[in-house]
A = this chain, B = another copy of it.
Amino acid sequence: MTISSATRPVDVYRTRLGERSQIEPRPHPVVWGKAPAPGPLTGPELAAYDARGYHAQQDVLSDNDIAESSHDARRIADELGDDDRVIREPSNGDVRSLFAAHELSTVVAEICAREDIVGVARQILDDDVYIHQSRINFKPGFSGGPFYWHSDFETWHAEDGMPAPRALSVSLALTPNTPANGPLMIIPGSHRQFVSCVGATPDAYHRESLVSYRPPFGTPDEADVTELADDSGIDSITGPAGSAVFFDSNCMHASSGNISPYPRSNLFVVFNAVSNALVAPFAAATPRPEYLAHRAS
Closest B-chain residue to A254, C-beta based?
B259
Please provide the chain A residues from 153 to 187 with a CB less than 8 Å away from any CB of chain B in the complex. Answer: 178-180, 182-183, 185
* Contact B180 A260, beta carbon cutoff 8 Å: no
Q: In the complex, which of the residues B179, B182, B226, B260 contacts A229, with contact meaning CB atoms closer than 8 Å?
A: B260
Asked if A146 is an interface residue, CB under 8 A from chain B, the answer is yes
Contact with B along A213-230 (1 / 0, CB 8 A): 000000000100110011
* Contact B148 A234, beta carbon cutoff 8 Å: no
By size class, the interface of chain A is: 20 to 34
* Contact B185 A234, beta carbon cutoff 8 Å: no
* Contact A234 B146, beta carbon cutoff 8 Å: no
* Contact B178 A261, beta carbon cutoff 8 Å: no
Residues of B within 8 A of A182 (CB): 256
Closest B-chain residue to A229, C-beta based?
B261
Asked if A142 is an interface residue, CB under 8 A from chain B, the answer is yes
Expressed in whole angstroms, the Cα–Cα distance for A230 and B178 within the complex equals 14
Residues of B within 8 A of A262 (CB): 229
Taking the closest CB of chain B, its distance from the CB of A140, in whole angstroms, is: 10
Assuming the A-B contacts A226-B261, A260-B229, are A234 and B180 also in contact, with contact meaning beta carbons closer than 8 angstroms in the complex? yes
Residues of B within 8 A of A261 (CB): 222, 225-226, 229-230
Asked if A281 is an interface residue, CB under 8 A from chain B, the answer is no
* Contact A259 B146, beta carbon cutoff 8 Å: yes
Asked if A149 is an interface residue, CB under 8 A from chain B, the answer is yes
Asked if A257 is an interface residue, CB under 8 A from chain B, the answer is yes
Asked if A105 is an interface residue, CB under 8 A from chain B, the answer is no
* Contact B236 A180, beta carbon cutoff 8 Å: yes
A142, A234, A259 — most chain B CB neighbours (10 Å): A259
Residues of B within 8 A of A259 (CB): 146, 148-149, 254, 256
Kindly list the 9 A-B residue pairs having the minimum CB-CB distance in the complex, ordered from nearest.
A179-B236, A226-B261, A180-B234, A256-B256, A257-B257, A229-B261, A179-B179, A142-B222, A146-B259
Chain A residues engaging chain B, CB cutoff 8 angstroms: 141-142, 146, 148-149, 178-180, 182-183, 185, 222, 225-226, 229-230, 234, 236, 254, 256-262
> Could you give 17 example pairs across A and B, Cβ below 8 Å?
A141-B222, A141-B226, A142-B222, A149-B259, A179-B179, A179-B183, A179-B185, A179-B236, A185-B260, A229-B261, A229-B262, A234-B260, A254-B259, A256-B256, A256-B258, A256-B259, A257-B257
